[in-house]
Amino acid sequence: MSAPLYLCVHVCDFAAQALARPRHELCSTAVAVLTGDAPLERVFAMTSAARKLGLLAGMSRVQAESFPVVLLRRNRPREDCSFVELTRCAEKFSPRIESIASPREETCGATLVLDVSGSERLLGDARQIAAALWQEIGALGYESSVAASCNAYASVLAARGIAGATAIAPGCEAQTLASLPLSVLQAGAAQAATLDAWGIHTLGQLAALPARALAARLGQSGLLMQAQARGQYPHLLVPEEEPADAPLCESMELEHPVELLEPLLFLLSQMLEQVTQRAAQRALAIASVETFLVLDAPAHDAPREHRRTVRPTLPQRDRLTLLKLIQLDLELHPPEAAVIALRIVAHPARPLAAQQGLFAAQTPEAGRLEILLARLRKLVGEGRVGAPELLDSHAPEAFRVAGFELVAAPPLPPSAESGLPAAALRMVRPPRPVTVELRGDAPAAMYYEGQRLTLQAGSGPWRTSGAWWTHPAWCREEWDVALREQPQRCLRLAHDPGASCWYVIGVYD
């Protein structure tokens, strides 16, 4: 069994870097992040350039304004998006990741611990893995430090105190951590004050104290800090693993409002590529995609969202198919104003395949069929393309247009075993209006197809009505009549008492 190996990624002042990184004009400028409500705003985080000017965390806004720095308000959504980006970069090296510090807590830094045990033959030795991860994070625009060690918490302390990429050899944890300041332990204020009063300023000095005397004065917390300073703390890694069916999110803020659909589709294509790749890593496909377009609004109005949802017939892995469905849907329902931000939420599902019989008729591919249906909806409108579905109602020809689904055809009913001839009613669509002569309340003759026809026999009426509690109430009477002609024909008539109209709705064959 190979020895354990842990990597720690520490991004100091993550809140400031997350705000300054997307804006190129701030990359080389001193930036400070403020938090709190006015007038009690204080400095929460700052870039390395602002720290070199003498700016300190906790300063008030008035004090910070005396320095040549750019002051920004803390942006939680931007920090969360940047932290997700940082986590995805770390996932390239290991899926087992524990978050020691994140924007969800009241800390300005971000710290991740990765378990890369057994990856040496694939990624190289500890120093090579640490250097590769440090370069990957640097390519994203973050100033970070990465440390590798056989002890998880030793790598955390080394990443907090040593810049760049560091690899601690097995057994050299205490020697490597000895020169680091006590601030990397992030101990409580009371414990830090006690150690400072004793003249203890480095981890090496803390590790050299007698354990029994330290426990008598600081208790178990003192022994815990000493074990961490010696690189002997047995930290149990608890990786954060999201559920396999967790939604996949991507977001992007635009520098300028965009009104045309073509540049939006270019950005959506990049976001869909990220989503489909993450779904493929879980061996899943995309069942639906929700698109949120944040619309531009006047200065005094809150931004609005244009939300659309696309649900393919079968879960899709093809990015181009999903992009085409989103394009056709946005062309049918365009946003009402310019777009200033994009966000998509994809819901993954297990991929399904439509298995057809060996001798069954060939049907179009599910993705192409869905695009064809979307094109038809764009031409004729929503609610007019799909499969007819009968409603649970006695209303004549009551149906609705439901979504088209690839399902197996139901088996045909068995044929009648009796020798009696069966009559089939062939419906006439649209129904043909006729003029009927009555004898009492029953029809006696009718004008049909340009001639007067007398009725030999008839049965009825069969009365149906419904929906009397709504505005489109309906009422109907139906008759079966036999015409006095050769060859003889049997028809089905319908009478609308409200409009006093008669129709031929069917012919018996």
The full DSSP string for 336-356 is: SS-EEEEEEEEEEE-------
pLDDT at residue 398 greater than cutoff 90: no
Question: Where in the sequence is the domain holding 166, given as residue range(s)?
Answer: 6-170
Hey, is 78 helix, strand or coil? helix
What's CA 80's distance to the chain center, in Å?
Answer: 15
Give the contacts of 7 (CB within 8 A, at least 6 positions apart): 93, 94, 113, 114, 116, 129, 130, 133, 146, 147, 148, 155
Say how many domains are in the chain.
4
Give the contacts of 374 (CB within 8 A, at least 6 positions apart): 324, 325, 328, 329
Last residue of a domain, one of 221, 241, 261: 241
Tokens representing 351? 């991929």
Position 390 scores a pLDDT of 82
**Same domain for 36 and 107:** yes
Amino acid at 169: A
Contact present, 33 and 16 (Cβ < 8 Å): yes
pLDDT digit string, tens, across residues 58-113: 888 888 888 888 888 888 888 888 888 898 889 889 888 998 888 777 677 889 99
Position 412 scores a pLDDT of 57
**Same domain for 210 and 291:** no
Give the position of tokens 């800090």. 225
**Same domain for 156 and 24:** yes
> Rounded mean pLDDT of 153-182?
92
pLDDT digit string, tens, across residues 113-155: 999 998 888 888 999 999 999 999 998 888 899 999 999 999 9
pLDDT digit string, tens, across residues 213-251: 999 988 898 899 999 999 999 888 888 777 777 888 888
- Of 423, 401, 441, residue with least CA distance to 492: 423
43 domain-assigned: yes
Residue 366 or 74, more confident: 74
Position 16 scores a pLDDT of 85
Contact present, 145 and 159 (Cβ < 8 Å): yes
Residue 18 or 178, more confident: 178
Position 406 scores a pLDDT of 57
As beta bridge partners, residue 37 has none
pLDDT at residue 289 greater than cutoff 80: yes
Residue 212 or 244, more confident: 212
CATH number, domain with residue 299: 3.30.1490.100
Under the banding of pLDDT at 50, 70 and 90, the label for residue 373 is confident
Position 301 scores a pLDDT of 72
**Same domain for 140 and 194:** no
Under the banding of pLDDT at 50, 70 and 90, the label for residue 424 is confident
Last residue of a domain, one of 119, 135, 170: 170
Position 85 scores a pLDDT of 86
**Same domain for 341 and 479:** no
Hey, is 131 helix, strand or coil? helix
pLDDT at residue 274 greater than cutoff 80: yes
Give the contacts of 473 (CB within 8 A, at least 6 positions apart): 465, 466, 467
Residue 179 or 422, more confident: 179
pLDDT at residue 421 greater than cutoff 70: no
Under the banding of pLDDT at 50, 70 and 90, the label for residue 282 is confident
* Whole-prediction pTM: 0.60
**Same domain for 342 and 294:** yes
pLDDT at residue 41 greater than cutoff 90: no
Residue 305 — φ and ψ, nearest 5°?
A: -120, 135
**Same domain for 88 and 132:** yes
